[in-house]
């Protein structure tokens, strides 16, 4: 497939706001593509070159892209930067300059989808001495061979600003429509995606052999998208929903998914990024387990041996570092509390009940660094309340109730797991939200150039991030400096196309950072777009910054529906 066909489709998709129109346009592209192009095509639509767990990153910022555009068009960097300041979109600048470029390529050729993807992969894998110039040269060659429309999307791709507004659900719909003519195959495609977190692989498998998707299985070293919990307000509601259940304490650590095959061990974060090298102690402990192949999940907490207590979440996060690993291992020794089993010696345990998974786990985990999470049985609301109060006394986040009969629901928020954090309406709660923009400081904060953030939750039905709070309190001076440094590196002039906001911050940002936000109440407000209906959306009342959640990404944040449910719980509806 020629890349111009994909670029033209991108151009049409960009003009559309309706999900059905986008789905049909993308479906048409899938019908045209050859099987050996499907994986590359899917990654390009996602704006990536590999799933996150492979850790392959383009490593190109705007400066490199500007340099490449200059090489390809004959215009100076100064001219390009001037046009960029006016347009706010480097892709549009590239498109404009390619229409009137000062120099023509001697051996210009048509680009295929594979040509563009392979060049991007070459850029990503370039390292060492001279790699920066090589990256620029490869990108410049791509742009040189591009039509103006192709150049626009190539530049947007490398700068992380593709702006199509297409989320993974739309890609799944388009794949289904391309084969069945409707969305009837969406559920089995989504199940496969949740079991491997590789949409390119799912698309390729589906197009080459649709029947294989129905039998798609868990595979070691392809991380499973983590199961998510629903929330209810009281023990009585939990019992009413799932009946007799297992209760586990909700620790304030960080989640990890551990894979083992023989001597090889890999560890993945909650965001499914590979973090193996950071935890040599966990790797060594896992190698000693008797089973040859396994995948399990656990909560990691650093333990303060001097004070005989767990370190705080912020202190535990000191273990997540690329350098000084050995010293961090000594300063913050870890315990990993295994709480679920996904795969064991050739058997997929995601379809087994919680009771069966737990039974197998109890045979696997000894004491030591790897422990099994404590489980208590609860037959009625009084027993849940008793365990919950015990968790409060221990200073924990709350409890997790688990349906004894439920399978492991990868990548979805179901009532298989239910979290109980506090009594709604009596005390503050928290949400996880993504930073979509920030404000400059005023008055006493002017010196920090940071006055607060605009935060949003995710609406999967609309595939939009909807604002829920403007957060100006809860920061220390050090945090204000840190936030300014982090956010100024990813600021942009226009809002990402997937953000729905009535407010305009001083700077928009790429959707990179997730924060935990405390609040006293949820109100209806014309200011925010979360769940907006009849001109009013849901907003957090008295929001305060709690902490940066570096263990989460934008797809794992609180949803619009969750905010609505919390509002109803707080209002006693």
Active site residues: 250
* 3-state secondary structure (DSSP) of residue 209: coil
In angstroms, the CA 392 to CA 423 distance is: 12
Alpha-carbon dihedral angle through residues 59, 64, 66, 69, given to the nearest 10 degrees: -90
Helix axes 113-125, 131-144, angle to 10 degrees: 170
The residues facing 518 across adjacent strands are 430, 544
In angstroms, the CA 437 to CA 505 distance is: 6
Contact 253, 338 (CB under 8 A): no
In angstroms, the CA 28 to CA 34 distance is: 12
In angstroms, the CA 17 to CA 13 distance is: 8
17 half-sphere exposure, CB direction, 13 A CA radius = 3
In angstroms, the CA 353 to CA 2 distance is: 48
Pairing state of beta strands 334-344 and 293-304? antiparallel
* 3-state secondary structure (DSSP) of residue 328: helix
Contact 252, 397 (CB under 8 A): yes
In angstroms, the CA 108 to CA 97 distance is: 17
In angstroms, the CA 157 to CA 148 distance is: 14
Distances (CA, A) of 55 to 105, 124, 272, 276, 571: 34, 10, 10, 12, 44
Contact 256, 320 (CB under 8 A): no
In angstroms, the CA 38 to CA 1 distance is: 10
Contact 197, 224 (CB under 8 A): yes
CB atoms within 10 A of CB 195: 23
Which residues, 6 or more positions from 198, have their beta carbon under 8 angstroms from its beta carbon? 51, 222
SS3 sequence of 153-207: HHHHHHCCCCCCCCCHHHHHHHHHHHHHCCCCCHHHHHHHHHHHCCHHHHHHHHH
Which residues, 6 or more positions from 534, have their beta carbon under 8 angstroms from its beta carbon? none
Which residues, 6 or more positions from 128, have their beta carbon under 8 angstroms from its beta carbon? none
Distances (CA, A) of 181 to 39, 185, 205, 393, 486: 21, 10, 18, 56, 45
Distances (CA, A) of 348 to 219, 300, 461: 9, 24, 30
């Amino acid at each position: 497939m020629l890349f111009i066909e994909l670029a033209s489709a991108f151009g049409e998709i960009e003009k559309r706001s309706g999900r059905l129109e986008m789905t049909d346009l993308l479906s048409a592209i899938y019908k045209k593509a050859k099987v050996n192009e499907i994986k590359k095509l899917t990654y390009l639509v996602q704006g990536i070159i590999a799933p996150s767990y492979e850790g392959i990153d383009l490593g190109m910022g705007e400066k490199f892209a500007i340099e490449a555009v200059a090489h390809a068009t004959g215009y100076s960097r100064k001219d390009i930067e001037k046009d960029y300041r006016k347009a706010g979109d480097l892709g549009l600048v590239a498109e404009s300059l390619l229409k009137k470029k000062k120099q023509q390529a001697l051996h210009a050729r048509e680009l295929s989808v594979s040509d563009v993807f392979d060049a991007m992969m070459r850029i990503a894998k370039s390292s060492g001495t001279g790699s920066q110039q090589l990256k620029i040269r490869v990108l410049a060659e791509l742009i040189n061979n591009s039509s103006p429309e192709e150049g626009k999307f190539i530049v947007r791709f490398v700068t992380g600003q593709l702006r199509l507004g297409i989320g993974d659900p739309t890609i799944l719909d388009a794949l289904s429509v391309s084969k069945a003519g409707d969305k009837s195959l969406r559920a089995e495609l989504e199940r496969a995606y949740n079991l491997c977190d590789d949409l390119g692989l799912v698309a390729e498998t589906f197009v080459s052999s649709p029947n294989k998707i129905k039998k798609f299985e868990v595979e070691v070293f392809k991380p499973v998208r983590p199961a998510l919990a629903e929330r209810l307000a009281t023990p009585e509601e939990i019992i009413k929903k799932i009946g007799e259940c297992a209760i586990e304490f909700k620790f304030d650590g960080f989640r990890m998914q551990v894979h083992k095959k023989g001597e090889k061990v890999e560890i993945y974060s909650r965001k499914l990024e590979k973090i193996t090298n950071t935890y040599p102690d966990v790797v060594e402990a896992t190698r000693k387990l008797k089973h040859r192949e396994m995948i399990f999940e656990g909560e990691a907490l650093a333990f303060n041996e001097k004070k005989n207590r767990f370190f705080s979440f912020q202190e535990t996060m000191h273990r997540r570092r690329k350098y000084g690993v050995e010293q961090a291992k000594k300063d913050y020794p870890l315990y990993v509390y295994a709480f679920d089993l996904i795969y064991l010696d050739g058997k997929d345990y995601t379809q087994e009940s919680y009771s069966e998974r737990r039974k197998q786990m109890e045979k696997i985990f000894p004491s030591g660094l790897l422990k099994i999470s404590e489980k208590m049985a609860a037959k009625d609301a009084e027993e849940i309340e008793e365990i919950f109060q015990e968790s409060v006394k221990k200073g924990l986040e709350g409890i997790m109730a688990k349906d004894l009969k439920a399978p492991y629901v990868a990548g979805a928020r179901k009532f298989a797991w239910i979290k109980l954090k506090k009594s709604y309406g009596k005390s503050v709660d928290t949400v996880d939200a993504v930073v979509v923009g920030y404000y400059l400081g005023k008055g006493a904060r002017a010196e920090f150039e940071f006055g607060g953030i605009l935060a949003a939750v995710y609406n999967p039905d609309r595939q939009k991030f909807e604002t829920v709070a403007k957060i100006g309190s809860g920061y220390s001076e050090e945090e204000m400096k840190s936030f300014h440094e982090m956010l100024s590196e990813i600021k942009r002039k226009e809002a990402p196309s997937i953000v729905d906001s009535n407010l305009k911050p001083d700077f928009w940002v790429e959707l990179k950072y997730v924060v935990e936000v405390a609040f006293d109440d949820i109100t209806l407000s014309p200011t925010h777009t979360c769940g907006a209906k009849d001109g009013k959306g849901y907003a957090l009342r008295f929001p305060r910054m709690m902490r940066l959640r570096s263990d989460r990404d934008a797809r794992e944040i609180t949803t619009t529906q969750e905010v609505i449910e919390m509002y109803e719980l707080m209002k006693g509806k």
